[in-house]
Amino acid sequence: MNVLTLETSCRNASVAVLDGDRLLSHCEFGANRRTAQVFATEIAGQLSAVGWVPGDLELIVVSQGPGSFTGLRVGVTAAKTLAYATGAAVLGVNTQHVIAYQAEGDWEAITVVGDAGRQQLFVDRFRRSDDRLQPTCSPKIVDAPAWLQSLEAGQWVTGPGLSKRLDQLPAGVRSTPSAEWLPRAATLGRLGYLEYQAGRRDSLWNLKPIYYRPSAAEEKLAER
């Protein structure tokens, strides 16, 4: 199955193409390159690298959030536009789930933390069962100091929310390597393909980013 994956939830966005769950090509934009400016070029470059044209695509997988408001809008809009133009199926995958899926280690349960700004974190917990991940709590936004105080020895943690707080983790709390904290398009593609094979489907018309909170503009409007 010809799969294109678009990961735009963080500043270091990436694109990958896969044959089923087998990675064929992958590129990262780099934090200094604006996603909206290079996105179309990078997608075309990845397709060209494996000898595909847009009409060859069968499944487009996109990171659905949480993450950058602008990045998620760019990625989801691009995925829906390509799916509409090519007839490919489209699937949105939770960003926190992707991070947990690529986390190495002998953990049975892991907490994924994303940077929500304002000294807050996106927090999700997952448990590994038969090589599959199951969420063990509802997604939430938590004040960073309160989250740090809630940790106990033996817990595993991962995610970009650790970048400014690694040295604040209590003794005995275990972190995955920092190279695994950011979601990668290659991982997104493998996870999306597995979910699609398991029967998950998204509507082209109803697929939207998952922000976990209103944007700053929406919050200001609500205060009026």
Helices (H), the chain: 35-49, 69-86, 95-101, 144-150, 185-197, 216-223
pLDDT at 209 over 90: yes
| Helix, coil or strand: residue 210 | coil
- pLDDT tens for 21-45 read 999 999 987 666 555 567 888 899 9
Q: Residue 221 has which token pair?
A: 């409007």
pLDDT at 178 over 70: yes
Whether 2-95+183-223 shares its CATH topology with 103-180 is answered yes
Q: Are 57 and 184 in contact (CB under 8 A)?
A: no
Domain ranges of the chain: 2-95+183-223, 103-180
What does pLDDT average to over the chain?
A: 90
Q: Are 68 and 210 in contact (CB under 8 A)?
A: no
pLDDT at 201 over 80: yes
User: What's the pLDDT score for residue 82?
Assistant: 95
Reported pTM: 0.91
**CATH class (in words) of the domain with range 2-95+183-223:** alpha beta
Which residues make Cβ contacts (< 8 Å) with residue 45, sequence separation at least 6?
27
Do the bridges between strand 174-175 and strand 132-135 make them parallel or antiparallel, or are there none, so unpaired? Answer: unpaired
Fold adopted by 103-180: Nucleotidyltransferase; domain 5 (3.30.420)
Q: How far apart are the first and last CA of the chain?
A: 49
- pLDDT tens for 156-172 read 999 999 998 999 999 99
Query: What would the mean pLDDT of 144-150 be, rounded to a whole number?
Result: 96
